[in-house]
Structure 1
Amino acid sequence: MVGRLLRAGCIALGLWLGGAVHAAPPQRVVSMNLCTDQLAMLLAAPGQLVSVSYLAQDPQASTMVEQARAYPVNHGLAEEIYRLRPDLVLAGAYTTRATVAMLQRLGVPVAIFPPEADFDGIRGNLRRMGELLGREAEAEAQIAAFDHGLAALMDAPVQRPTAALYYANSYTSGRDSLAGRIVEAAGLHNIAADAGLSGGGVLALEQLVLANPDLLIRGRRYAGRSRAEEVLDHPAVAALAERAGQTGIADQDWVCGTPRVLGAIARLRDARLGLEQGS
């Protein structure tokens, strides 16, 4: 018990000092956020990660479902996390604040990761996860493989076909978002920029129709029905989808900034090449 408290104290001090103190790698790591789940599964040593969030096993949210099934899941509740006796908890910036605050009051070190808004964010979070877990070499290997894969997908089309991201409630993502960076890397021009949306926001149906993009990128539908998704069934959207190229990208493809976003870039690039060959 004393050893565990000392190790937790060293980790907490290292986190507070931004990593200036070199502590022994944590032995019982718990992740309570979908994105930290996946980063940790990519890098953790065998036996080091003891639990991931239940979302890691959800095929509609996670790209690492099979790997996640090897771990017990948690639901982000302070009492269940504490009973796992972690010496490090991984959380996202928007993870339940009450749970994070309670764990910190109980002396449990918590590392909070910001969402990745671009490819540098992916590299930065991989590198930070590697430092926290004592797996720096593995993190650098993942970054190198990511950069190699990204370079292989990047090309310079003479003219970028226009594309629109269109989700429930007419939501779209602009250039200053991870989804926007993925669209750009695939060689497409995101019309959100033309609508003055740099991050994310609502792209009115009228704006979408008038922009008449070459490619319509829609999120995959969930089971059941919701009023938020009704706009996706509008006749104008159906007509646009029939006239333009269209493709679907599932949320798990880019909801988290991990090297798995390369798959989303590849699918959008293939859609772009299909447009170019058909023109």
Structure 2
Amino acid sequence: MRRLPGIVLALLWAATGACAGPSRVVSMNLCTDQLAMLLAAPGQLASVSYIARDARASAMAEEALAYPINHGLAEEIYLLQPDLVIAGAYSTPATTDMLRRLGVPVVVFQPASSLQDVRARILQMGQVLGREEAARALLADYDQRLEKFEQAGPEAPRAVLYAANGFTSGSMTLAGQILRAAGLRNIADELGYAHSGHMPPELLALAAPDLLIGTSPYPSGSRSEEVLLHPAVRRLAGRSGAGQIRDADWVCGTPDVLRAVAALAEERRIFLEKESRE
């Protein structure tokens, strides 16, 4: 049975009930790490990727300390004797191909590009782990918490996500949907950035957003972050009191995206209060 394709095994485990799932699971992707930690039964998750312990990228860095780590290498993962490996769409293809050739089932998760995708990934992880009931409970909590936020209306403050290399995200991305769920309009949509792209600082200055939202800087500087020091960007940041969201809260499609929504909703509240006083 071990030589069956991973997705076939996942469907078989799901069909036989929550207790019949894989008993020794290895995750080799930051986003699948976190979903697996949220849903796996005690002792079911044998290893997570080393990035899961990096607080700059992982929303569950402390929880990851309880698990052995892997570096995404076929040899080390094979020696862990997993009966299921969970990978991301951009995980090292050489590793996943080698594991499959060795008869190890591999299930690949696509990245989430919307808040709806977060729901789908929760259910998918519950299915492959044989933990459907836990997934439904987690999903219900996610939906309940998301409903409390106010979606952006036509009069909502205009905001922009602006990061290293002038990177921004529109409404067809998870980050863009987080912005909208926090009650903010995204100027990236006005400027034709439906997905992600690089926005020149001159274009940013002409658009004149009410709020400029940056990401948490890394300890050492880089040339990619120099655009954030451009006079036009600094002027906008100073005027709007540019907020920040942790990379770890919105890089993966997990329920932790709601922390990013909450942080931006607070930025919106502060901005509106300031506007009402002026």
TM interval, short-chain normalised: over 0.9
Question: Which of 158, 162, 166 in structure 2 is aligned with 1:166?
Answer: 162
Question: Which of 7, 20, 33 in structure 2 is aligned with 1:15?
Answer: 7
Alignment match, 2:96: 100
Q: 1:92 to 1:198 in 2, by over 3 A?
A: same
Q: Which runs of 5+ in 1 are unaligned?
A: 1-5
The CA distance in 1 between the partners of 2:189 and 2:154, in whole Å, is: 19
User: Deviations 1:60-100 (Å, cap 9, x if unpaired)?
Assistant: 01010111000000000000000000000000000001101
Q: CA deviation at 1:245?
A: 3.2
Q: CA deviation at 1:218?
A: 0.6
Alignment match, 2:131: 135
Q: Which amino acid aligns with 1:137?
A: E
Alignment match, 2:63: 67
Alignment match, 2:246: 250
Alignment match, 2:212: 216
Any conservation in 1 of the 2:10–2:128 contact (CA below 8 Å)? no
The CA distance in 2 between the partners of 1:191 and 1:208, in whole Å, is: 9
SS in 2 for 1:120: helix
1:201 aligns with 2:197: yes
Q: CA deviation at 1:249?
A: 1.0
Alignment match, 2:176: 180
Any conservation in 1 of the 2:175–2:250 contact (CA below 8 Å)? yes
Q: Aligned-pair RMSD on alpha carbons? A: 1.5
1:240 aligns with 2:208: no
SS in 2 for 1:131: helix
The CA distance in 2 between the partners of 1:213 and 1:258, in whole Å, is: 28
The CA distance in 2 between the partners of 1:16 and 1:156, in whole Å, is: 41
Alignment match, 2:43: 47
Alignment match, 2:116: 120
Any conservation in 1 of the 2:37–2:45 contact (CA below 8 Å)? yes
SS in 2 for 1:90: strand
Q: Which amino acid aligns with 2:11?
A: G
Runs (4 or more) in structure 1 with deviation over 3 Å come to: 155-158
The CA distance in 2 between the partners of 1:195 and 1:155, in whole Å, is: 20
Q: TM-score, normalised by structure 1?
A: 0.93
1:273 aligns with 2:230: no
Any conservation in 2 of the 1:56–1:65 contact (CA below 8 Å)? yes
Q: CA deviation at 1:154?
A: 2.7
User: Deviations 1:141-169 (Å, cap 9, x if unpaired)?
Assistant: 00000000001123565611000111111
Q: Which runs of 5+ in 2 are unaligned?
A: none
SS in 2 for 1:70: coil
Deviates more, 1:28-37 or 1:115-124: 115-124
Quote the sequence identity (%): 54
Alignment match, 1:80: 76
Any conservation in 2 of the 1:171–1:203 contact (CA below 8 Å)? yes
User: Deviations 1:25-45 (Å, cap 9, x if unpaired)?
Assistant: 101000000000000000000
The CA distance in 2 between the partners of 1:157 and 1:191, in whole Å, is: 13
The CA distance in 1 between the partners of 2:11 and 2:168, in whole Å, is: 37
Q: TM-score, normalised by structure 2?
A: 0.94
SS in 2 for 1:273: helix
